[in-house]
A = this chain, B = another copy of it.
């Protein structure tokens, strides 16, 4: 029998294990043109929380009692499609199933054997693409500028910071433990880090760590950290709204500092970014990221959980800040 993870009920507030259900189904039988995929690595991402709501969103909501999906690296274990060989690996938007059949359409063939398979869910997957393309399209970093990043030890944040260093910027990261702060400074080359959980006055801490002000703020969290960053932006600053994890779990939109006065005064630019809008730029971006990776200019880490049965738990742990870098499950 084949195991499948479905959405049993829509989370209210923070996701819980009871929102998910494991079901069994027959092992899929192939028709001509199809391939059978065995999931190897399953990506769990904050944005999936949004798809669990039953409301109009930029991406269709998940249906109740049907399998969830995310980016997955899979091995082809049987092929009735000439374009795919048994033993090859692919990545793509796939269902949370141990086994699934597929026409192969829209899947990315993994050909570069030098890069570990799981990197295709991270630095060469949506997280790396998000970091790179948001900076290219909105951040437009200039040498010597100051880049502030929240969620700095996370999958996107850690790549953002390293790109900032490659571009010759001062890079300051915000994260939630002293270990993460040490990590981003020692391993990812950030110039400074701020632990928001032990810092009383974030606006002041940002001012101290960004003596020339903030030119680009890459915001993965929203909320009060955004307010604190906004109090330190320079004229013509760019703010990338890449995530609002502090808001996703709230049932009502929280209140915060009104930002429009600062926006006018500083002629700041704030823009929401979703990587899917930029599919036509992926190839170019993967080329650039792959070359930095090959030159050892880009390090990444991942928090790996083991076992298909731990996919929901790994997803929940993101909202508890238990991951460092890309969170994924090795099936």
Query: Chain A interface (Cβ within 8 Å of chain B)?
Result: 50, 57-58, 219, 222-223, 226, 235, 241-244, 247-248, 253-274, 277
Contacts and interface: CB of A to CB of B under 8 A. Distances in A.
Contacts of A219: 260
A8 B205 CA distance: 37
A325 B84 CA distance: 67
Contact of A271 (B248, B257, B262, B263): B263
Contacts of A273: 264, 267
B253 A255 contact: no
Nearest to A57: B265
Best-buried of A244, A254, A268 by chain B (most CB within 10 Å): A244
Nearest to A270: B270
Contact of A267 (B262, B269, B277): B277
Given A58-B235, A235-B58, A269-B269, A261 B274 contact: no
B255 A258 contact: yes
A274 to B, nearest CB: 6
A108 to B, nearest CB: 23
28 contacts: A50-B265, A58-B235, A58-B265, A58-B266, A219-B260, A222-B261, A223-B258, A223-B260, A244-B260, A244-B261, A247-B260, A247-B261, A248-B261, A253-B261, A255-B255, A255-B257, A256-B256, A256-B257, A259-B259, A263-B271, A263-B272, A264-B272, A264-B273, A266-B272, A267-B277, A268-B271, A269-B271, A270-B271
